Amino acid sequence: MQNTIRQVLKTTLLAGGFAAAAALAEPPVLTAEVSDTAVLTIGKPHRFYTMAYDGGAVIFDGDNGRIEGLVPMAMNATLDFSADNTRIYVGETMYTRGNRGDRIDLLSIYDASTLNLLKEIPVPPRAPVNMKYNNMSLSPSGQRAYIYNLHPATSITWVDLKQEKVGGTVEVPGCTMAFAWGETGVSSVCGDGSLAMVTAPDAGAATVTHTKRFFDAAVDPVFDNSLYDNTTGRAVFLSYTGLIHEVELSAKPVISKPWSVQVSAGYSAAGTGTDELAWRPGGRQPIAWHKASDKLYVLMHTGPYWSHNDTATEIWVLDRKTHALLNRWPSPMATRSISVSQDAQPQLYLVSMEAPAIVMDANTGEVLRSIEAGLAEATTQAGH
């Protein structure tokens, strides 16, 4: 009798185990995935872009540090933004077989909300230089793009963005970069210390004049990543020793007397001695300009002349109008490039290839967050 009971229990347990195993082995019910596409909010004030040497511009949200997207770009490309922030313009050069083959130069236009490619405009051979903001610029209305060329002579091509075609090319021998002003004007920094002032009308021949020499390129050059405001025509050129040269770009340009950031801080102006230790600007993008408050943010380090590529140990905040030093903040990392948002509560964006990106409060110098994925060589944002 007991053996019979044991046998019944064993059979019942085995049957239950097989049933449970069979139930577990049944495949789960799969639900259909719903595909969607993220859309970026236009005109977000604390959005910034970072660039390195691998092509593409990574888009970050400065308020939370998250990656929002990627603007596809070829190596050594340049990007700029329409005045209403709805379009992203990329000047780029590529080859049909990667590093060789037929060369293709384009002005590529992307939707800033979806990052979809809208248009490719073939352009003459541009200067394929990496992370030079002023390699391309837009007119205040956004009707024109100006692209700096090097093939082999230097020139500037202007593109009619409304008609989506090249309007013309103007030679600027011995000059570099493109700083747009007015609707038909663009300037280029020249090796003799002057500015080439180009006026390119919609019809008829372009004219080129030169300003007087305002810096000595052999003794104290200016950074090619200097700043300008295409709506006012005001340009701020920072020299290797720390002189600020201001120019009002127009058909009749006005050049102001230079002033020294070191003198503003109570030091002597830095010289050009190779053994002369002084506070000096340095980095790839060593200066940022918050235009509404007229504050300049300059990356500074101690070093001899010709240390203009060194990373920053301090950030100096200066008033562009009064030349007063407002703040000196320790740089939270060895900063290579700096940019600033253009809103009423501005943020500073600091990047380097050696450390995570840093977001700072541009009014107080407080570090708001670091971004591990933000390793980069340069940074920019709309309205830079």
Give SS3 for 351. Answer: strand
Mean pLDDT in residue range 70-83: 92
Mean pLDDT check: name the lowest of 78-82, 237-241, 294-298, 357-361. 78-82
Checking if the pLDDT of 274 tops 90, the result is no
Checking if the pLDDT of 22 tops 70, the result is no
Mean pLDDT check: name the lowest of 35-39, 188-192, 325-329. 35-39
Q: Which residues lie across from 74 on neighbouring strands?
A: none
Return the amino acid letter for 80. Answer: D
Question: Into which CATH architecture does domain 270-384 fall?
Answer: 7 Propeller (2.130)
Checking if the pLDDT of 192 tops 50, the result is yes
Mean pLDDT in residue range 169-179: 96
Q: Is the model more confident about 11 or about 365?
A: 365
**Sequence-ordered list of residues with C-beta below 8 angstroms from that of 372, at least 6 positions apart, any chain:** 356
Mean pLDDT check: name the lowest of 74-78, 117-121, 126-130, 354-358. 126-130
Question: Between the CA of residue 139 and those of 82, 159, 165, what are the distances in Å?
Answer: 9, 10, 15
Mean pLDDT in residue range 229-253: 96
pLDDT value of residue 24:
55
pLDDT interval class at 6 (50, 70, 90):
very low
CB 338 within 8 A of CB 287: yes
pLDDT value of residue 20:
47
Closest CA to 304 of 347, 352, 329, 271: 271
Checking if the pLDDT of 7 tops 80, the result is no
DSSP track, 3-29 = HHHHHHHHHHHHHHHHHHHHHHHSPPP
Per-residue pLDDT tens for 153-165?
Answer: 899 999 999 999 9
CB 71 within 8 A of CB 57: yes
pLDDT value of residue 5:
43
**pTM for the predicted model, two decimal places:** 0.90
Per-residue pLDDT tens for 292-316?
Answer: 999 999 999 999 999 999 999 999 9
Per-residue pLDDT tens for 34-71?
Answer: 777 789 999 999 999 999 887 799 999 999 999 999 99
pLDDT value of residue 184:
96
Checking if the pLDDT of 225 tops 50, the result is yes
Per-residue pLDDT tens for 122-150?
Answer: 999 998 877 788 999 999 999 999 999 98
pLDDT value of residue 207:
96
Q: Residue 37, Cα to own-chain centre: how many angstroms? A: 25
**Residue appearing with tokens 């970026």:** 40
Beta carbons within 10 angstroms of residue 192's beta carbon: 13
> What average pLDDT is seen over the chain?
91
CATH says 72-229 is which class?
mainly beta
Residue span(s) of the chain under CATH 2.130.10.10 come to 72-229, 270-384
Checking if the pLDDT of 12 tops 50, the result is no
Return the amino acid letter for 201. Answer: P
Checking if the pLDDT of 374 tops 50, the result is yes
Whole-angstrom distance, CA of residue 327 vs CA of residue 139: 33
Q: Is the model more confident about 271 or about 10?
A: 271
